Every structure is written in C-alpha cells, then in structure tokens.
Amino acid sequence: MTSSKNQETKQELICGIDEAGRGPVLGPMVICGVCFDKSKLNILSKIGVKDSKKLSEKRRSDLAKIIKKNCESYKAIIVNAHEIDAREEKRITLNRLEEIKMAEIINELQPEVIYIDAADVNEERFKKSIIKQLNYSPKRIISKHKADDLFPIVSASSIIAKDLRDNIIEELKKKYGDLGSGYPSDVRSIEFLREWIKEKKNVPHFARKTWETTKKIIREELSNTKITDFIK
C-alpha cells in the first residue's frame, strides 16, 4: 500500500518508520513509513500526533486520515502470520524480517532523513543492517528505541500502521467472531484460539503457529488426539 504526491517542489524529505502488531498471536504485523517535507513537520505537533498506543482507536483513525492527507508519501506493508512463521524456515529472526521490510519501504520512498523505531536491543546494529540493504545513500538515519515517543514523524507512521492493523482485526472479527486484540495478554484472544483449535483441530490462517502461545494450546488441546491417532 503506497501513496505519493508530486514532490518536484519538495525540500528535505523526512521519513518515520514504525511497526504495529509485532507481538500478537493473532493477526498481521504492519510496518509503515511516512514522509513529510521538513518545512511541514510542525503539522504533526499541531494535530496532536503521539505514540499510537497512547491514543484511542477513534483518535488513531481520525489522525491517520489527516496524516495521509498532509504527508508527501507513505507506504505500509502487511506482514501476515504465514510470512512471520516462514521466517523460521528461512532461519531469520523477527528483527531481521523487520529490517528487510523497513529497507523495502525506504528504497521506495527515497527520503533524505529517516527516523526508525529500532527493534534490536542494539540501535546502531539495527541501523547498519538496514543501510546495507538500501539502493541509495540517505543523508542520515536515526535508529532509536521508543522513537515513536521521541519523534512525531515516527508517531505518525505508528498511527497509520496501528490504524491499518485495527481495521484488519475488525474485518477478521466480522468474519470469525470476537477474537479480541490478538495479543497473548488478551483473555478473549486466547479463548478464541483455544476454542478454534479444540473444535477444528487446526490453527486459523491468521494465527502465528510459531508463537509459544499457539504451541502451548496445541499441546494442551490436541495431545490426546495425536496420541490416539497412533494407536491401532
């Protein structure tokens, strides 16, 4: 999902990149990059942009629309549960998967200055890994923990990513029932996953099979079935 406007008169293009949905057992992870001309960054503070987790769902939705309308360009990548699980076969970490997707966003948007919410405990290592995958040389990349709290441009990307994930979760609810937020800490999500596995003897396509939460439920609900399958 990409949107861009005429950039012929642009000044320095500033980009923020963040993700939403890294930890849930249900639903995708969404990674977003959003670009503003340096001269227009003050818009973000004026409209009250801040870390998406500190905003209500309604406020995120409203801000996402305003940000998309005023930005120079943005790109959002939906990483579904299957792709997240497939990283184990490819022997790459979730951090590495994020790096690959973030580099893809940067290569398409081509900003001069980039602010990234670092997933790695080592901020500099995360930045260097992304730089190696770029097809051009930006002026500067700033990789920081909690960047969505520190830089409004990263908050803006966080808001678009979280709003898109929220919408995806709502569509799943319409189709499959109340599955909660998708996070392992959400009782509704765990109950939904447990009931699905118990009843259907499989894992929903939007659940992450490599998550320990899913593995535990499979062990608890399907272990007897699996054992009896081998009894002749």
150-198: per-residue pLDDT in tens? 999 999 999 999 999 999 999 999 999 999 999 999 999 999 999 999 9
Percent of the chain residues past pLDDT 70, beyond the cut:
91
Residue 231 CA to residue 52 CA, distance in Å, equals 52
For the chain, the domains span 10-173, 177-224
pTM of the predicted protein model: 0.89
Q: How do 140-144 and 113-117 pair as beta strands?
A: parallel
The answer to whether 208 touches 97, Cβ cutoff 8 Å, is: no
60-87: per-residue pLDDT in tens? 999 999 999 999 999 999 999 999 999 9
112-154: per-residue pLDDT in tens? 999 999 999 999 999 999 999 999 999 999 999 999 999 999 9
Q: What is the mean pLDDT of residues 14-33?
A: 98
Sheet with 113-117, strands from edge to edge, namely: 2-4, 73-79, 29-37, 13-20, 113-117, 140-144
Exposure string of 117-139, with b = 16+ CB inside 10 Å and e = fewer, is bbbbeebeebbebbbeeeeeeee
Pick the CATH number of 177-224 from 1.10.490.10, 1.10.10.460, 3.40.50.970, 1.25.40.10: 1.10.10.460
For the domain spanning 10-173, the CATH number is: 3.30.420.10
pLDDT at site 223: 75
Residue 14 has pLDDT above 50, yes or no: yes
pLDDT at site 10: 52
